[in-house]
């Protein structure tokens, strides 16, 4: 029973007591009044007894009620004591809480709070008392500056505040049963500090990982904040821009770092303002071509990347020049040339093609075929287009209207273009205007018809003549058809010749390479000067064979336009002395006198192709001279030198002087039994001179002799290079070197073994990887692995080298030997870190490379 119930119960008892007293007083008064009237005494006594009994009962009830009232008072006092104790315990409990505690009633007024809550307000100077509303507390918190930052409630409904003293508190709310509100303010400063430390640690880790990633990029990277401060960079950025490390570490503005390169600075600022990724090409401090890309960041600032694209730029420039040459050639070809892809979009058109349709140059590129053809015209061409897109080549004739509205008769050829996977990806279009020929044919046909009419009108004597004319016309048409077929066969034969020479070069170089190795081994073992000279002559002859073979293969590629001369500066003395030694003996055997004039002038050209030209001049001079002499010399004219070959031979008729430079054109030798050439020598000379850009001059008097000359540009003389039969290489460096050799040609294995053993090497030869594995223990590795790229059974040297290096106990330098000159193979081999030598292998170059590989391996071992 609570205090309120006790109070109500006591009030009811007091009311009952008052009623009883009133009844008792009325009864007494009635009794006294009856006695006065002389009532019956017995009745009065009886009535008094009854009244007394009632009074006694009422008195007992009153005493009982009083007892209950006293008990209730005692219970009430005990309840008050218990309530006071509970209240004190509640106050003590609230004070013992480490959090700030505050209790609101249902009107949201403060009922109770602890000292921690009061301390929160101590720094603001505000006194918080009971009865203050929660709205007033919120207002005072913001006005007094108690709250520095406020964060919205999370999933649990708790809000977080950062106070003005730097402490962090978390506010939790809970409703009471009577509609009140309890709020706890928990101090989470330590938790926040730990979270901040963890975040800073994680950020430091991520920053470290980011820096490591940036440092390993091949691009230069710099991150600039919205304030213009350099925040992150790598060494590649420093190298490409020329900025020093000390300048970056001092944290100047990015504008100060890029002060010497306004283009890059302006580029970055423009990108940051526009909010777009911008790219441009700039020149580096060392002349490189650098691609600069600026990536703006959402919060301000930007990231710059610097990529060295010098090689790509050079390659693009070469492609652009090649495209210009192709464009120059095709634009001057009197034919309509175009290329269409699988979707019938124009990818290339020459000048004549655009002019035919009355369009500007390159205006058709990217447009569809329907931009120049109507649907009806396309349907007529569709069968031929379908054949071209299926991989076939087709030629046909058709009428076509040009941009001027003229109908012209055209000879069209559609040639399919096959990609690397063997699938057609478009077709070339070549169109020639044969209207005049068509009109001639029509006129001829009309004349035939007129002749037939006239023959019918004339006498029968002209019938035979008319038949003869028709026969001649038929023969002429057949002859023209045979000429076209012959021309196509000749072009196909020329293409087959080029492919054959390119394919057979590897097979020809194999025995030549073996002869090279045997010759080199023989030269190393000969001490007698005369025999050494003889062996050297054999080596020189092999050099000549190699040079002739390579020149022949290069000439076969001239039509494809893939021969690139190797222009260098060299002295004519070595070249002319070599040619003199070679042709002096040949002239002596023919009974001729050979004389040459030494020249120490330095020229700039391709030495191999120039030697090919002079060899053709000298060979023809000896071939067509029966008696007299041959002279090799130079004539200086300004900045050029004319290298001339004079002879006293049969000479050349004036009308044939230009014809001798055509293919398969040759003069009849005067001496019986003299070797007849193929008529390709001077044709090759003409093609080589065009490739080199050198002028060829020829003059001759029939019966007196000829002079052939080539003009070569001179350059400033350089210091002479000493050479001789014994090169100053330290052969002892190869003594004891362990070398493994894999080559599928036994002759090459034998020749290479003799050559290397002559240098003191320990050689193990094998025809394949399996053969090598059967002979050696891979835990005893070699110093160098030499492998031929072309092996048997579909294997190659790269696979064999990989198998050896996988099983070897330590890394072995690899030297790859091949007759394949493709750029793709060169890039593959060098990308693997191998060295590459092309066949035929020159002993001197082989020795130099082996010594270099040994020294590199020793240097790596010493560092480790």
Per-residue pLDDT tens digits for 579-594: 888 888 888 888 899 9
The structure tokens 């191999």 sit at 608
Average pLDDT of span 291-300:
82
Task: Give the pLDDT confidence score for residue 111 in this predicted structure.
Answer: 81
Give the closest residue to 741 by CA, choosing from 756, 729, 731.
756
| pLDDT of 265 over the 70 cut | no
β-pairing, 814-818 with 784-788? parallel
Distance CA 689, CA 504 (A): 25
Return the pLDDT at 834.
92
The residue ranking higher by pLDDT, 643 or 529, is 643
CB atoms within 10 A of CB 395: 13
Residue 676's pLDDT is what? 47
Query: For 10-28, b where at least 16 C-beta lie within 10 A, e where not — what string?
Result: beebeeebeebeeebeebe
What is the predicted pLDDT for the residue at 155? Answer: 63
Max mean pLDDT among 231-240, 426-435, 437-446 falls in 426-435
pLDDT at residue 267, rounded to an integer: 66
State the average pLDDT over residues 74-99.
74
Quote the percentage of the chain above a pLDDT of 70.
78
Q: Residues in the chain, how many? A: 864
More confident residue, 512 or 608: 608
| pLDDT confidence of residue 639 | 92
Could you identify the residue written with the tokens 């710059």? 304
Q: Are 734 and 755 in contact (CB under 8 A)?
A: no
Q: What is the pLDDT of residue 500?
A: 58
Does the pLDDT at position 671 exceed 90?
no
Query: What is the predicted pLDDT for the residue at 728?
Result: 39
What is the fold, at CATH topology level, of the domain defined by 731-863? Rossmann fold (3.40.50)
When pLDDT is cut at 50, 70 and 90, the band that residue 614 belongs to is: very high
pLDDT, average across residues 140-152: 79
Give the per-residue pLDDT at 32: 62
Q: Is the pLDDT of residue 669 over 60?
A: no
Q: How far apart are CA 220 and CA 230, in angstroms?
A: 13
Total-model pTM: 0.32
pLDDT level of residue 712 (50, 70, 90 thresholds): very high
More confident residue, 524 or 700: 700
Least confident of 230-234, 394-398, 471-475, 821-825: 821-825
d(CA 250, CA 252): 6
Predicted local distance difference test score (pLDDT) of residue 521? 67
What share of residues in the chain are helix, strand, coil (percent, to 5)?
Answer: 50, 20, 25
Tokens, residue 91: 């106050």
Which of 134-138, 263-267, 402-406 has the lowest average pLDDT? Answer: 263-267
Give me the chain's average pLDDT, please.
78
Please report the pLDDT score of residue 492 as a whole number: 67
- Pick from 781, 799, 813: nearest CA to 744: 799
pLDDT at 740: 92
Cα separation, 854 vs 737, whole angstroms: 8
Give the mean model confidence (pLDDT) for residues 835-855: 84
| Distance in angstroms (rounded) separating the CA atoms of residues 407 and 439 | 12
pLDDT confidence of residue 547 = 58
CATH for 98-187 is 3.30.450.20
Residues 495-519: what's their mean pLDDT?
60
Q: Which of 372, 337, 344, 368 is nearest to 357 (CA)?
A: 372
Q: How confident is the model at residue 378 (pLDDT cuts 50, 70, 90)?
A: confident
Indicate the pLDDT class of residue 694, thresholds 50, 70 and 90. very high
Would the CA dihedral through 358, 362, 365, 367 be positive or negative? negative
The whole-angstrom separation of Cα 308 and Cα 316 is 14
End-to-end CA distance of the chain: 94
CATH architecture assignment, domain 529-715: 2-Layer Sandwich (3.30)
Cα 457 to Cα 290: distance, rounded to the nearest angstrom:
86
**pLDDT category of residue 726 using cuts at 50, 70 and 90:** very low
- pLDDT score at 370: 86
Instruction: Report how far residue 600's alpha carbon sits from residue 128's, in angstroms, rounded to the nearest whole number.
Output: 109
Q: What is the pLDDT of residue 724?
A: 35
Residue 802 has pLDDT above 50, yes or no: yes
Question: Can you identify the CATH homologous superfamily of domain 314-433?
Answer: PAS domain (3.30.450.20)
Q: Which two tokens stand for residue 705?
A: 């002799």
Nearest by Cα to 850 from 723, 772, 751, 755: 755
- 251 or 672, which is more confident: 251
pLDDT at 670 over 70: no
Q: Which CATH number fits domain 219-308: 2.40.420.20, 3.90.1150.10, 3.40.50.1000, 3.30.450.20?
A: 3.30.450.20
Q: What residues have CB less than 8 Å from 623, skipping those under 6 apart?
A: 669, 674, 675, 677
Mean pLDDT of 648-669: 72
Residue written as token pair 């002749």: 451
Task: Compute how many other C-beta atoms are within 10 angstroms of the C-beta atom of residue 209.
Answer: 10
DSSP type of residue 259: T
Lowest mean per-residue pLDDT among 12-21, 66-75, 188-197, 498-507 = 498-507
What are residue 156's phi and psi, to 5 degrees?
Answer: -75, -5
Cα–Cα distance between 36 and 58 in angstroms, integer? 26
What band does 194 get if pLDDT is binned at 50, 70 and 90?
confident
Is the separation of the CB atoms in 225 and 300 below 8 Å? yes
Reading the block at residue 697, the tokens are 């001059």
Helices 529-556 & 681-692 angle (0-180, nearest 10)? 80
What's the rounded mean pLDDT across residues 258-271?
64
Query: Which of the two residues, 804 and 476, has the higher pLDDT score?
Result: 804
- The DSSP secondary-structure symbol of 445 reads H
With tokens 């349709």, the residue in question is 357
Cβ neighbours of residue 858 closer than 8 Å, sequence gap 6 or more: none
SS3 296: strand
CA Rg value for the chain: 56
Element (H, E) at 116: helix 115-120
What single string gives the DSSP state of each residue in 722-742?
A: ---SS----GGGGTT-EEEEE
How much is the pLDDT for 635?
93
Structure tokens at 448: 């035939």
pLDDT at 460 over 70: no
The proportion of the chain whose per-residue pLDDT surpasses 90, expressed as a percent, equals 10
Q: Take residue 819 and report the two structure tokens written for it.
A: 């007759």
Q: Which of 177-186, 310-319, 779-788 has the lowest mean pLDDT?
A: 310-319
pLDDT of residue 605: 92
């Amino acid at each position: 029973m609570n205090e309120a119930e006790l109070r109500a119960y006591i009030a009811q008892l007091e009311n009952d007591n008052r009623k009883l007293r009133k009844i008792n007083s009325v009864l007494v008064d009635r009794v006294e009044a009856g006695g006065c009237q002389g009532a019956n005494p017995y009745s009065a006594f009886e009535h008094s007894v009854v009244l007394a009994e009632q009074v006694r009962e009422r008195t007992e009830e009153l005493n009982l009620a009083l007892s209950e009232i006293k008990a209730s008072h005692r219970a009430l006092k005990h309840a008050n004591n218990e309530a006071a104790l509970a209240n004190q315990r509640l106050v003590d409990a609230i004070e013992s809480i480490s959090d700030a505690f505050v209790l609101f009633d249902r009107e949201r007024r403060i009922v109770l709070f602890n000292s921690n809550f009061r301390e929160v307000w101590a720094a603001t100077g505000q006194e918080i008392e009971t009865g203050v509303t929660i709205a007033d507390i919120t207002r005072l918190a913001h006005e007094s500056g108690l709250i520095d930052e406020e964060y919205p409630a999370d999933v649990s409904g708790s809000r977080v505040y950062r106070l003005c003293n730097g402490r962090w508190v978390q506010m939790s709310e809970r409703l009471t049963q009577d509609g009140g509100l309890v709020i706890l303010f928990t101090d989470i400063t330590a938790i926040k500090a730990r979270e901040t430390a963890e975040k800073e640690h994680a950020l430091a880790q991520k920053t470290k990982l980011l820096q490591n990633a940036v440092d390993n990029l091949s691009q230069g990277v710099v991150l600039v904040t919205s304030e213009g401060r350099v925040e992150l960079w790598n060494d590649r950025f420093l190298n490409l821009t020329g900025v020093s490390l000390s300048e970056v570490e001092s944290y100047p503005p990015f504008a100060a770092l890029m002060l010497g390169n306004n283009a890059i600075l302006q580029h970055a600022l423009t990108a940051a303002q526009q909010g777009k990724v911008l790219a441009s090409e700039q020149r580096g401090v060392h002349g490189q071509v650098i691609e600069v890309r600026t990536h703006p960041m959402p919060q301000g600032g930007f990231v710059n990347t610097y990529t060295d694209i010098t090689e790509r730029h050079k390659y693009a420039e070469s492609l652009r020049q090649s495209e210009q040459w192709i464009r120059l050639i095709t634009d001057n070809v009197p034919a309509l040339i175009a290329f269409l892809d699988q979707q019938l979009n124009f990818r290339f058109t020459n000048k004549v093609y655009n002019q035919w349709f009355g369009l500007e140059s390159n205006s058709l590129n990217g447009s569809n075929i329907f931009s120049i053809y109507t649907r009806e015209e396309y349907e007529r061409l569709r069968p031929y287009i379908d054949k071209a897109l299926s991989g076939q080549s087709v030629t046909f004739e058709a009428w076509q209207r040009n941009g001027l509205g003229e109908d012209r008769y055209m000879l069209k050829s559609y040639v399919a273009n096959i990609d690397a996977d063997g699938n057609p990806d478009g077709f070339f279009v070549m169109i020639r205007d044969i209207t005049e020929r068509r009109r001639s044919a029509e006129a001829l046909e009309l004349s035939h018809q007129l002749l037939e009419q006239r023959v019918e009108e004339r006498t029968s004597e002209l019938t035979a003549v008319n038949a003869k004319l028709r026969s001649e016309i038929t023969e002429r048409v057949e002859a023209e058809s045979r000429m076209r077929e012959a021309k196509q066969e000749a072009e196909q034969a020329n293409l087959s010749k080029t492919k054959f020479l390119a394919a057979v070069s590897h097979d020809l170089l194999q025995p030549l390479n073996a002869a090279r190795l045997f010759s080199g081994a023989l030269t190393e073992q000969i001490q007698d000067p005369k025999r050494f000279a003889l062996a050297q002559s054999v080596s020189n002859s092999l050099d000549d064979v190699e040079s002739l073979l390579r020149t022949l293969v290069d000439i076969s590629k001239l039509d494809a336009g893939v021969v690139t001369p190797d222009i260098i500066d060299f002295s004519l003395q070595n070249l002319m002395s070599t040619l003199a030694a070679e042709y002096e003996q040949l002239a002596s055997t023919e009974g001729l006198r050979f004389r040459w004039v030494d020249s120490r002038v330095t020229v700039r050209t391709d030495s191999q192709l120039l030697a090919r030209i002079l060899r053709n001049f000298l060979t023809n001079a000896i071939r067509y001279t029966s008696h007299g002499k041959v002279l090799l010399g130079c004539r200086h004219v300004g900045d050029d030198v004319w290298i001339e070959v004079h002879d006293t031979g049969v000479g050349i008729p004036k009308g044939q002087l230009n014809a001798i430079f055509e293919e398969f054109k040759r003069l009849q030798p005067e001496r019986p039994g003299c070797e007849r050439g193929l008529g390709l020598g001077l044709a090759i000379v003409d093609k080589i001179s065009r490739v080199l850009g050198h002028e060829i001059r020829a003059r001759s008097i029939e019966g007196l002799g000829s002079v052939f000359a080539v003009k070569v540009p001179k350059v400033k003389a350089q210091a002479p290079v000493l050479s001789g039969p014994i090169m100053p290489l330290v052969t002892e460096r190869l003594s004891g070197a362990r070398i493994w050799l894999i080559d599928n040609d036994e002759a090459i294995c034998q020749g290479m073994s003799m050559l290397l053993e002559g240098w003191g090497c320990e050689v193990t030869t094998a025809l394949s990887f399996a053969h090598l594995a059967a002979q050696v223990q891979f835990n005893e590795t070699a110093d160098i692995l030499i492998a031929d790229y072309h092996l048997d059974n579909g294997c190659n040297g790269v696979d064999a080298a990989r198998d050896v290096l996988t099983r070897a106990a330590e890394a072995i330098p690899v030297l790859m030997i091949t007759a394949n000159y493709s750029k793709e193979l060169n890039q593959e081999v060098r990308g693997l870190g191998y060295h590459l030598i092309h066949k035929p292998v020159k002993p001197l170059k082989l020795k130099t490379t082996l010594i270099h590989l040994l020294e590199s391996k020793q240097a790596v071992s010493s560092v480790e």
